[in-house]
Amino acid sequence: MSCGFDLDHYAELLDAAVAGGYRWARFDHEPGTGDLFLRHDVDLSLDAALRMARLERDRGARATYFLMTESVFYNLASHEGTDAVAELRDLGHAVGFHAVHPRFARDDRFDPVMAWHNPDPEYVFEPVDGVVNVMQSPWFTKGRYRSDSNAHWREGCPHDELRAGAFEWLQLLVHPEIWVYPGATMGETMRAMLDAKRDEWLQRLADDRIDLS
């Protein structure tokens, strides 16, 4: 099995988690044996999030999608944004708030769970009033956390350990853009995403009655 960052291997990761006996857990209870907290920080593309969410639904997986309200890359207040939130919920996923420090104004689009975007060490693990911060104890525990940030598993791709049930429980952070768009490096993947966004933007212009002739 090759550990590429693509949707084929992502499906293998999900299947490995099922084979290892894990349960799809939401951040609405403290971690227990067998919990798999599947977390997606949506930094760059709602389209990538939706494609990953549909694949998960098809394989019976449940995740929590953390969405931004002040991204420069997508607009959650647009009709595409509100449609994306509705579809994520229809697919059975939870929706949390991906906040930019120090601003924190959660609204009723989100479940009471949050994750900071690009956090600094001074506040990343601190509790936040009224919600679960996914990086506060006990949801963040050393040895029970894996992240694919910048297309790099610092502690290795977890598929073997998931299949073997080697984690008592796990928080698994996966960024959809890295897996949905092709590329052997983060730079290639980002360029592939920009090519896809160009097509999306041409369609938006047409939808906005711009003459593209």
Footprint of Zn ion on this chain (CB under 5 A)?
3, 41, 43, 117, 157, 159
Minimal distance, residue 212 CB to Zn ion, in Å? 33
Minimal distance, residue 167 CB to Zn ion, in Å? 14
Task: List, as own/partner pairs, every contact residues 47-51 make where C-beta atoms lie below 8 angstroms and the sequence separation is at least 24, other chains included.
Answer: 47/180, 47/196, 47/200, 48/176, 48/177, 48/179, 48/180, 48/181, 48/193, 49/84, 49/88, 49/176, 50/84, 50/87, 50/88, 51/7, 51/176, 51/180
Phi, psi of 187 (to 5 degrees): -65, -45
Minimal distance, residue 43 CB to Zn ion, in Å? 4
- Residue 114 β-bridge partners: 97, 133
Closer residue to Zn ion, CB minimum distance, 25 or 45: 45
Closer residue to Zn ion, CB minimum distance, 3 or 85: 3
Single-letter amino acid code for the residue at 79: H
Closer residue to Zn ion, CB minimum distance, 14 or 25: 14
Taking the CA atoms of 32, 60, 98 and 191 in sequence, report the sign of the dihedral they define: positive
Closer residue to Zn ion, CB minimum distance, 62 or 117: 117
Minimal distance, residue 134 CB to Zn ion, in Å? 11
Take residue 153 and report the two structure tokens written for it: 């598993």
Closer residue to Zn ion, CB minimum distance, 121 or 211: 121
Minimal distance, residue 156 CB to Zn ion, in Å? 8
